[in-house]
């Protein structure tokens, strides 16, 4: 089916880490006219937009924990009526801490950015997608098990994983694919460390994760996992009861 509207990708959390890498990888791999780059740090988005050569980067400075931030993107879509070929719900945050030490607002914002924003943005933008469009939701290997000290974060990612599987099934008849990207710990601003391992956990290269994710999106896979460590974690999570997984995971000490 030929669509005569401009072909656009929307990437949230494009100011750093995976989001930035997704923009560069999509530019190489897909025939797009614009990539809408969404995050709060406008200067970083401008810098990325200037680096893109084959596709026009459009910075959108938006706080996804707010309704206004989400409306900025959907209002632009309503005005321009693009063909959204790709939506990457990637923005997210979390850190290791005892549940009782985290601020209420911190958890509330985390749920808004990690869960509410992908759901609402997908709902708002779905009408601009068509046959062959792709959605990728960045979950995490944290989605595979209950994680003490990463409790709320892991629960938000579990939501995203299940949301993605179910939505992918619903959208099959429209030929829109949904890929849940489940990275293990990787070297981005999220998990800033120069170490190659933290507590026996290998720290992965984010470039490889994103390259694999885009390959999997093009194959219209419902999940993208990079590396033997993350595949093993997933396999173990199928075998053990959640109570035991929580007990084992509770012994891992993450940097705080």
Ligand X SMILES: NC(=O)c1ccc[n+]([C@@H]2O[C@H](COP(=O)([O-])OP(=O)(O)OC[C@H]3O[C@@H](n4cnc5c(N)ncnc54)[C@H](OP(=O)(O)O)[C@@H]3O)[C@@H](O)[C@H]2O)c1
For the annotated catalytic residues, the residue numbers are: 153
- Taking the complex as a whole, the smallest distance from the CB of residue 166 to ligand X amounts, in Å, to 19
CB closer to ligand X out of 2 and 211: 211
Spatial separation of the C-alpha atoms in residues 212 and 225, rounded to whole Å:
8
Is residue 92 involved in binding ligand X (CB under 6 A)? Answer: yes
Site for ligand X (CB under 6 A): which residue of 17, 59, 82, 227?
A: 17
Q: Taking CB under 6 A as the criterion, which residues in 153-182 touch ligand X? A: none
Is residue 227 involved in binding ligand X (CB under 6 A)? Answer: no
> E strand or H helix at 89, and its extent?
strand 83-89
How many residues would you count in the chain? Answer: 256
Is residue 140 involved in binding ligand X (CB under 6 A)? Answer: yes
Is residue 188 involved in binding ligand X (CB under 6 A)? Answer: yes
Tokens 């026996």, residue? Answer: 200
Q: At what angle do helices 17-29 and 206-218 cross, to 10 degrees?
A: 50
A 10 A CB-CB count for 160 gives: 24
Q: Taking CB under 6 A as the criterion, which residues in 94-113 touch ligand X? A: 94, 113
Site for ligand X (CB under 6 A): which residue of 9, 15, 82, 128?
A: 15
Q: How far is CA 118 from the centre of its chain?
A: 9
Question: What does the per-residue mask of binding to ligand X show for 48-67, with x meaning CB under 6 A?
Answer: ---------------xxx--
Q: Taking CB under 6 A as the criterion, which residues in 237-256 touch ligand X? A: none
In Å, how far are 14, 31, 221 from 24, measured between CA atoms? 10, 13, 21
- Taking the complex as a whole, the smallest distance from the CB of residue 54 to ligand X amounts, in Å, to 22
Tokens of 27: 């530019």
The angle formed by the CA atoms of residues 104, 189 and 183, to the nearest 5 degrees, is: 90
Q: Mark the segment that binds ligand X (CB under 6 A) among 161-169, 183-191, 222-230, 248-256.
A: 183-191
Is residue 195 involved in binding ligand X (CB under 6 A)? Answer: no
Spatial separation of the C-alpha atoms in residues 76 and 249, rounded to whole Å:
43
Applying CB under 6 A, which residues contact ligand X?
13-19, 39-41, 44, 63-65, 90-94, 113, 138, 140, 183, 185-186, 188-191
């Amino acid at each position: 089916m030929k669509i005569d509207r401009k072909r656009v990708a929307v990437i949230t959390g494009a100011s750093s880490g995976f989001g930035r890498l997704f923009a560069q990888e999509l530019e190489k791999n897909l025939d797009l006219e614009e990539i809408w780059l969404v995050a709060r740090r406008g200067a970083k988005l401008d810098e990325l937009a200037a680096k893109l050569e084959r596709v026009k980067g459009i910075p959108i400075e938006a706080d996804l924990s707010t309704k206004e931030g989400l409306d900025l993107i959907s209002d632009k879509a309503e005005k321009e009526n693009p063909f959204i070929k790709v939506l990457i719900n990637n923005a997210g945050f979390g850190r290791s801490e005892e549940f009782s030490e985290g601020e209420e607002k911190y958890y509330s914002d985390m749920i808004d950015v990690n869960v509410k924003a992908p759901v609402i943005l997908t709902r708002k933008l779905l009408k601009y997608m068509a046959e062959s469009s792709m959605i990728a939701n960045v979950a995490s290997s944290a989605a595979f098990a209950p994680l003490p000290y990463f409790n709320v974060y892991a629960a938000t990612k579990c939501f995203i994983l299940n949301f993605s599987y179910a939505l992918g099934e619903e959208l099959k008849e429209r030929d829109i694919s949904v890929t849940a990207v489940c990275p293990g710990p990787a070297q981005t601003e999220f998990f800033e460390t120069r170490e190659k391992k933290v507590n026996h956990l290998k720290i992965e290269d984010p470039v490889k994760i994103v390259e694999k994710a885009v390959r999997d999106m093009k194959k219209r896979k419902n999940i993208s996992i990079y590396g033997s460590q993350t595949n093993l974690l997933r396999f173990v999570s199928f075998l053990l009861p959640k109570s035991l997984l929580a007990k084992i995971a509770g012994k891992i000490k993450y940097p705080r």
